[in-house]
Structures are given as C-alpha cells and as structure tokens.
Structure 1
C-alpha cells in the first residue's frame, strides 16, 4: 500500500472516529445520531460527489445503462457499522435530465462501497441546449402576444371611456419597433416565395393594427426592386398562440 493510500485510509478512519466522538458528545446532551439521518453540509463536497458518481457508474454496470452523472441535489448520511449515503442526484438520460434517489453503503476500512438502491423519480428538466431552445421559444412567444395583450387591455380601458378598439384600426406607436419590422420582413419574404420574386425589405413607413380574433397588421413599407425603391401596402394576419402568420395582401403602389 502506497503512502497516499495509507494517508487516505487513515483520514477516513479519523473521519469516522470523529463522527463517533461527536455522536457520544451529542448523546450526552440527549441527542442521538448513531442510526439517525444527518443532512450533508454541502452537496458540492468532493466526497459527496464521489459517492453520487459511484452510484451512477454502478447502476450503469448493473443495468447496462448509459446515464451521465450531473450533480448532487441534496442528501443525508447515517452511521450504521459503516456509512449509509442517501442522496438525491440529477442524471442525464438520452439528453433528458432526471432526478434520482440513491442509497450507497460504505465501509472505507474494509474497502467496501455498495449500491443498495437506485430509483429514478421523475424528469425534472431538459438538457442545457433543450432548455435554452425552449426558453427562447417561450420568450419569442411571449413577445409576440404581448402587443395583443396590451391592445386588449387598452381596448377594455377605452371601452370604459366609451371608445371601441376591438375591430377598430389603431396606429402603431413606432415603425421601428422590432415586432413591426419582423412583420414587414415576413410580408416581403412570403411574397417572394409566392411570386418567385427577389424584392428586398427596406423599412416600415407607418401602419396600424386591428384585433379580430387575432391581430391584423396593415403596414406601408419600402422595398427595393432591381435597385428601384418602391412603396407597398401589406396586410398580415397573426395568431401567435396558434403559431399562425399569413400574408393576406401585398400591393405595390406606383
């Protein structure tokens, strides 16, 4: 046995005896710890992580699986003629992050480490890539329906003052709004697909919107057609919550 192995062995023994000594002290104060479960101080402790990684590796060997250890969420320990580690961990299973409960028994002085139980509880999240994609999708969706929600709220507010907005056309606040520009670009791209054209979007001049079981966008835009700048009127219908966006009208104004 090498010097490092001797050192590790004695450090483990010291740790266990320290725990037993603390147990005796606490027992004198009326608290029992031998046989009781004690919460681990930090799930990021290297010793805790090592136990979590062992549990996943052993489970993979036992079941011919390919789970990947992610992290320890929480856990506790129990002294019973050795050490029981009861951990809640996260693993990745075919790009899906799941939470698991594992139980590992350890007797370091006998060089014994056994996986007693490994239970997948439920899927708790996506991988980082999936989460980012889903998060971005939700943000895009929220930004898309935000003008509609605001318009509806304004409609209710104006209705209380005797003004009608649902079904009426309301001027857009700014032609430079990213959402307005996005609708304008969509109109040009959709027209190009339908007519096999090569028009280029320049900018939005002005426009208005109408709430009709969705959102109508009536915009006046500038386009480039063979180095010639032209004005166009476009009408786009949108239902963001149904992922619907349609080009209804595209007219070049001479």
Structure 2
C-alpha cells in the first residue's frame, strides 16, 4: 500500500509540474484556435510526445522509440481541455520517421491524456522545396561537409567557395540537393551534391557528388 501511495504521489507531482509549464507556455491569444508551438523542446511537449509513442506502441503492438518533437500546434478549448497536434520523430528499428499525433489533455487538478490519432506524417514527406537563403549557416555547413567528404573519398583537394542553389526534401531527416561552387587549384567549378542530414542524432551522409 505504501509503494502504491508513493507512486500516485509522484504522478501528482508530475501533473502539477506539467500544469505549471503549460500555464507559462500558452497565453490568452491561443484560446479558441490552433496556435503554433514556438519551442517544441519544452518539457511539456516532450512528455506529450513520449506519451503518444508509448500509447501507440501499446495499442498497435509496435516498438517505436521517441526521438523528439519536430513541430506542433495547440488548441485550448474552455471546458473541454487542451489538444496537442504534434509532429514527432520516432525510430522504427534503424529508420527514423515522422508521425503526426493528436493528444487531448483533460481534467482539473488531475490531468488525463488521451491519444486520438497516430499516423505517418505524409504531408511532410514529398517533393523538393527550393532553398531561399543559401547563406544560412546550416546550408553552408552541409555544403562544406559535402566538399570535405568528397575530398576524403576521392582523394581530391577541392576548396569550398559557396552554395549556388539548392533544394531540400523531408524524408527520415532532411535530404539536401545542393549546387556548390568549389575551387580545384585555380579553377572554380560547380558540383552537385546530395546529402542526408539527421540533426537529432548528429548524422550526415554524402550520397552523390557530381561535377556539372
């Protein structure tokens, strides 16, 4: 009996903590409509994301492992609770995919969570999207990585100059298709590189590197 009381006591503390976090996360302007989450790494959203994965594993007899919350929205309905519409990255074996979940939080002092939907987020998986800011630090970093990795693989001495243009595609991570200007000796040429970047596990891989 003592251990059972202690267990419920810990649950109550967690619920109070989540309630406090939520109070400081949502302002009055978000009531009555969906409001984008500005920081998906906040503890309350991570807890909701982990709950969704755990509940889905129980219901569908799967073994997904939570990675992180990619993005999401919340809606506060007076008297009905709070809805969380999240895009979650989760690992299925060795493959990381994105899943769209809908979780409802209800209750007063004691909060209850219910999973309403859990599905592969096909809206995020699709065609190539042009990169609008080629000087973005991540884009430049991926471009420099492609040159460095090609030099190692092909035993060349290309020097990164700039990213000329590029596109991104959301898969189990982000795929970059970049046209990179690089110097070979005194000659500057353009090269197309395709790189897969999975930032939440700090993984990058060069798939192709071709002179244009």
TM range (shorter): 0.3 to 0.5
**More helix by proportion, 1 or 2?**
1
TM-score using structure 1 length = 0.37
Choose between structure 1 and 2 for higher RCO, CA contacts under 8 A separated by at least 6 residues.
Answer: 2
TM-score using structure 2 length = 0.44
